[in-house]
Amino acid sequence: MIDSPYLVEPGKKLKLSKRSTDDTGKFKDKSAAAGPTAKNLEKLDELQEELYAESKRALLVIFQAMDAGGKDGAIEHVFSGVNPQGCSVTSFKIPTHIEAAHDFLWRHHDAAPRRGMIGIHNRSHYEAVLVERVHELVPKSVWQSRYQRINEFERLLADEGTTILKFFLHISKAEQKSRLEKRLKDPHKNWKFNPGDLKERDRWNDYQQAYEDALEKCSTEHAPWFIVPADHKWFRNWVVSDVIVRTLASMKMKYPPPPPGLDKIVIK
C-alpha cells in the first residue's frame, strides 16, 4: 500500500467533513499540474503494457462519488491512453432481475478483472451499504453485516493476485449544485441530467454518513480507500493517476522472457 495524504488509514477513525474537497496539493493551478499529469498518463500506458504482458496479476480500480462527483470524467481522462485490450470498464446500475436474485456480491465478482487486466468499476459493491442503506431497501442488520462480507470479498481477490485501489471522489454540496446546473443549462449535457438526482441531493447528509462508515470500516492494507479532493477536476485527475502509477510501479512487473533462439533467427 503506497503512502498518500489522501489515504484512509486502516483502523483509524474518519471524519469526512474534515477532509477538504478543494485541496490542490503542491500545485498552484491547473497549468502547474498539466505536465505532471501528462507524465503520469504516459507512465500508466507503459505499466499497463507490462501488466498485460506479464499476465500474472490484475488491477481493480473502484470509483464512488455523489451524483456529479466526476466518476465518468476521471475514468475518461486517466485511462485515455491505455490499450483498450487490457482494460475493461463496468458501470453498475440498478440490479437486473437476474442480478437481484443472487447475493449482493455476485455481479461484482463476475466483473472482477482477469490476470493481466485493469478492471475499472464505476460504482461498485459499496452501493449495498450506500444506496440500500440510505433508502432503507434492506434492514439495518443486513447492511451492517455487509462491511465484513465486503472485506472478505476483497481479501479473496487480493489473495488471488488482484491489487485493489478504491477512490472516493469527494466534492462539496456547492460544487455538486454548480455541476447539476451546468447539466441543466447546457443542451449538450442535458442527457446527463436526471431529475432523480435532486431527490438524492436531499439525502446529502445521510449519504455523507454512509460514505464515512464505508470508508472507515473498509479501508484495509489489501484494499485501501483514497479520498480524492474533487472540486477541481484537474487535481482529481492528478491524484488518481499518481496513486495508480505508483501502485503499478511498486508491483515491479516484468515482461515474459523471450522464446529461446531468437538471436539466431534471420528473417528473409
What does 150-167 look like in DSSP terms, one character per residue? HHHHHHHHHHTTEEEEEE
- Rounded distance between C-alpha atoms, residue 138 and residue 170, angstroms: 26
Domain presence at residue 1: no
Domain presence at residue 73: yes
| Torsion region of 228: left, alpha or beta (phi above 0 gives left; psi -120 to 50 gives alpha) | beta
Summarised one tens digit per residue, pLDDT across range 88-113 is 999 999 999 999 999 999 999 999 99
Domain presence at residue 146: yes
Phi, psi for 262 (deg, rounded to 5): -65, -30
Q: Show the domain range for 45.
A: 16-253
Question: pTM for the full model?
Answer: 0.96
Domain presence at residue 62: yes
Which of 1-5, 28-32, 139-143, 172-176 is the least confident region?
A: 1-5
Average pLDDT of the segment spanning 228-255: 97
Domain count, the chain: 1
Question: What is the pLDDT at residue 104?
Answer: 97
CATH label of the domain that carries residue 185: 3.40.50.300
